[in-house]
Amino acid sequence: MADATEPETDVDLRPDENLVRVRFRGTFTADEWLAALDGVVADPGYRPGMNVLHDLRDAKLDIPPTGVGPLLAELRSRVDRWGEGWRYGLVVADPLTYGLSRVGTTWFGGAPFEISVFRDADQAERWVRRG
């Protein structure tokens, strides 16, 4: 495993299950977060509309308060390339990240996919797979 501060991304694409598992470990800046997600979309096994289970339990986001809005706006600007009718389940470890992530989901109102935040990975996977 990488040093605790070095960002590491594990991606498990399962086209036959219409599922992408993404796990972040270490400390991520906004640019590193975006680059990691761009890498998923660029993978030949990825196809728009795949459900995503994104595990952040072992990650820390090194983003100043003034950087959260621009990051969410940039993510929102990219949703068209991810397809329609899919689910994005975000798994977090602590109550603060859970609360902030829930607030962040409001930026995606009207997006062509569903998003939800969880503290339990099994619950998140069940929700994502129902999509």
Helices 65-77 & 30-42, crossing angle to 10 degrees? 20
pLDDT for residue 1: 46
pLDDT for residue 131: 59
Predicted model pTM = 0.84
DSSP label of 121: H
- Whether the Cβ atoms of residue 92 and residue 101 lie closer than 8 Å to each other: yes
Q: Which residue has the tokens 């619950």?
A: 123
Mean pLDDT taken over the chain: 86
Q: Which whole number is the average pLDDT over 7-19?
A: 94
Alpha-carbon distance 75 to 18, whole Å? 21
Digit-coded pLDDT (tens) for 52-75 = 999 999 998 888 888 888 888 888
Digit-coded pLDDT (tens) for 28-40 = 998 998 998 899 9
pLDDT for residue 82: 85
Helices 65-77 & 95-104, crossing angle to 10 degrees? 50
Topology classification of domain 8-129: Transcription Regulator spoIIAA (3.30.750)
Band of residue 11 on the pLDDT scale cut at 50, 70, 90: very high
Alpha-carbon distance 101 to 117, whole Å? 7
- Among 42, 35, 40, 34, CA closest to 72: 34
